[in-house]
Amino acid sequence: MKRLFGGGHDTVEAFPVQFSDEDWRHRLDPSQYNVLRKHATERAGTSSLNSEKRGGTFVCAGCGKALFASDTKFESGTGWPSFYEPLEGAVETTEDRSLFMTRTEVHCAACGGHLGHVFSDGPRPTGQRYCMNGVAMAFKPV
């Protein structure tokens, strides 16, 4: 069974990639663990992925699942890497009621790791802004 940890979540689901909490702590550095497994948010403007402009794929830092194609990345001005569309089947969403508001959380469809949130103020063609924590991802150039 998989559990979406933190962020006001009480959902239990089965993800294809599963590790014990101890194993996640060994696989991830402390900032990755806090974001991916505990739903933390990295400080705006701190990710090197903000300035990544090469062709390639952004993947989950927890399990390596391909999440976003580089041609869907755009500059949102928020300080976090933003995309207008994930790869098919790459992410799932849940309702996040933490911080006294309701938002749509985005997590990796393979391991359940918290990636960020999606908002309806993005560019065409989707109108979506997937505002992702850079520490939750890695970049694989073409």
Domains of the chain: 2-141 (2.170.150.20)
CA distance 28 to 60: 11
Residue 135, SS3 per DSSP: helix
Is 60 assigned a catalytic role? no
Do 136 and 114 contact (CB within 8 A), yes or no? yes
Residues 6+ apart with CB under 8 A from 128: 84, 85, 118, 119, 120, 122
What is the model's pLDDT at position 9?
A: 46
What is the model's pLDDT at position 55?
A: 98
Q: 71: which 2 tokens? A: 């041609």
What is the model's pLDDT at position 5?
A: 46
- Which stretches of the chain drop beneath a pLDDT of 70? 1-13, 99
What is the model's pLDDT at position 51?
A: 94
What is the model's pLDDT at position 96?
A: 79
